[in-house]
Amino acid sequence: MNKEPHYSSFLSTFTVNILFVMLIIVGAAMIPLLSLQLNPTRYLPSLTISWTWPEAPVRVVEQEVTSTLEGVLTTVTGIKKISSYTYSEGGNITVEFDKNVDLRAKRFEVASLLRESRKRLPERVSYPEISMNMPSNQSGSVILSFQLNGNASPSYIYTIADEVIKPAIAVVEGVYSVNVYGSTPREWELIYDQQKLAEIGISSSAISASINNYLLEMELGGASESIIGGPEKRTYLTLEGNNKGTFRWDDIPVAKTSGRIIHLTDVAKVKLKDQRPQRYFRINGLNTININVSAGKNVNNIKVAEGVKEVIDKLKRELPPGYSIRTSVDSTIYLKEEIS
What string of DSSP letters covers 93-109?
Answer: EEEEE-TTS-HHHHHHH
Q: What is the pLDDT, as a whole number, of residue 36?
A: 46
Q: What is the pLDDT, as a whole number, of residue 138?
A: 43
Three-state SS string over 118-169 comes to HHHCCCCCCCCEEEECCCCCCCCEEEEEEEEEECCCHHHHHHHHHHHHHHHH
Mean pLDDT on 314-327 = 89
Q: What is the pLDDT, as a whole number, of residue 137?
A: 39
DSSP of 225-287: E--TTS--EEEEEEE--S--TT--GGG-EEEEETTEEEEHHHHEEEEEEEPPPSS--EETTEE
pLDDT digits (tens, 9 = 90+) for 96-120: 888 788 888 888 889 889 988 888 8
Average of per-residue pLDDT values in the chain? 78
Q: Is the pLDDT of residue 5 over 70?
A: no
Mean pLDDT on 308-313 = 95
Residue limits of CATH 3.30.2090.10 in the chain: 187-273
- CA atoms of 116 and 134, how far apart (whole Å): 27
261, amino acid identity: I
Mean pLDDT on 212-218 = 75
Q: What is the pLDDT, as a whole number, of residue 39?
A: 42
Question: For 139-185+275-340, CATH number?
Answer: 3.30.70.1320
Q: What is the pLDDT, as a whole number, of residue 112?
A: 87
pTM: 0.48
Paired strand residues for 272: 188
What φ, ψ does residue 192 adopt, rounded to 5°?
-80, 150
Kindly indicate whether the domain formed by 39-138 is annotated with CATH number 3.30.360.10. no
Local confidence band at 321 (pLDDT 50, 70, 90 cut-offs): confident
Residue limits of CATH 3.30.70.1430 in the chain: 39-138
Q: Is the pLDDT of residue 40 over 50?
A: no
Residue limits of CATH 3.30.70.1320 in the chain: 139-185+275-340
Q: What is the pLDDT, as a whole number, of residue 222?
A: 66
- CA atoms of 233 and 166, how far apart (whole Å): 39
The residue among 312 and 152 whose pLDDT is bigger is 312
Q: What is the pLDDT, as a whole number, of residue 313?
A: 95
Q: What is the pLDDT, as a whole number, of residue 305?
A: 92
Mean pLDDT on 61-72 = 89
Q: What is the pLDDT, as a whole number, of residue 28?
A: 57
Paired strand residues for 270: 190
**Closest-CA residue to 217 (of 84, 53, 55):** 55
Local confidence band at 325 (pLDDT 50, 70, 90 cut-offs): very high
Q: What is the pLDDT, as a whole number, of residue 245?
A: 58
Q: Is the pLDDT of residue 42 over 50?
A: no
Kindly indicate whether the domain formed by 187-273 is annotated with CATH number 3.30.2090.10. yes
By the 8 A CB rule, do 239 and 145 touch? no
Range in 17-21, 107-111, 213-217, 307-311 the model is least confident about: 17-21
